[in-house]
Amino acid sequence: MGPNVVMSLMMIPFLMVGHNVHSASFQFDNLQFYTKDISLQGDAFISNGTIQLSQVALNSAGRASYAAPIHLWDAETGDLAWFTTTFSFIVGPAATTTFGDGISFFLSPFPSILPTNSAGGFLGLFSAETALNAYENQIVAVEYDTYGNPWDPPSAHIGININSIASATSETLPSVNVGSGLTAFATVNYEPNAKNLSVVVTYPQFNVNVESSVSVSLWFLVDLRTVLPEWVSVGFSGATGQRSRSLSGFPTICSTRNLGRLRVEIAGNPLD
1 inside domain: no
Query: Are 172 and 153 in contact, with CB atoms under 8 Å apart?
Result: yes
Report the percentage of the chain scoring pLDDT > 70. Answer: 64
Residue 132: inside a domain? yes
Q: What are phi and psi of 167, to 5 degrees?
A: -65, 140
Q: Which residue has the higher pLDDT, 175 or 198?
A: 198
Asked if the model's pLDDT at residue 257 lies above 60, the reply is no
Residue 29 falls inside a structural domain:
yes
What is the CATH number for 63? 2.60.120.200
142 Cβ partners below 8 Å, 6+ apart?
Answer: 104, 105, 106, 158, 159, 160, 161, 186, 188, 197, 199
Structure confidence at residue 227 (pLDDT):
98
- pLDDT surpasses 50 at 254: no
What is the three-class DSSP state of 200? strand
Residue 177 included in any domain: yes
* % of the chain exceeding 90 in pLDDT: 29
User: What is the pTM (predicted TM-score) of this model?
Assistant: 0.81
Burial group, residue 206, by CB count within 10 angstroms (0-12, 13-18, 19+) = middle
Q: pLDDT tens, 61-114?
A: 899 888 888 888 989 989 898 888 877 776 554 444 445 578 889 999 999 999
Name the residue range of residue 204's domain: 6-270
Whether 108 is covered by a domain: the verdict is yes
Whether residue 122 is contained in a domain is answered as yes
Find which of 44-53, 83-92, 232-241, 248-257 is predicted with most confidence, using mean pLDDT.
232-241
pLDDT beyond 90 at 161: yes
Tell me the per-residue pLDDT of 11-63, one tens digit each, with 9 for 90 and over: 433 334 333 323 333 344 455 555 677 889 998 887 766 677 877 777 888 99
Q: How many domains does the chain fold into? A: 1
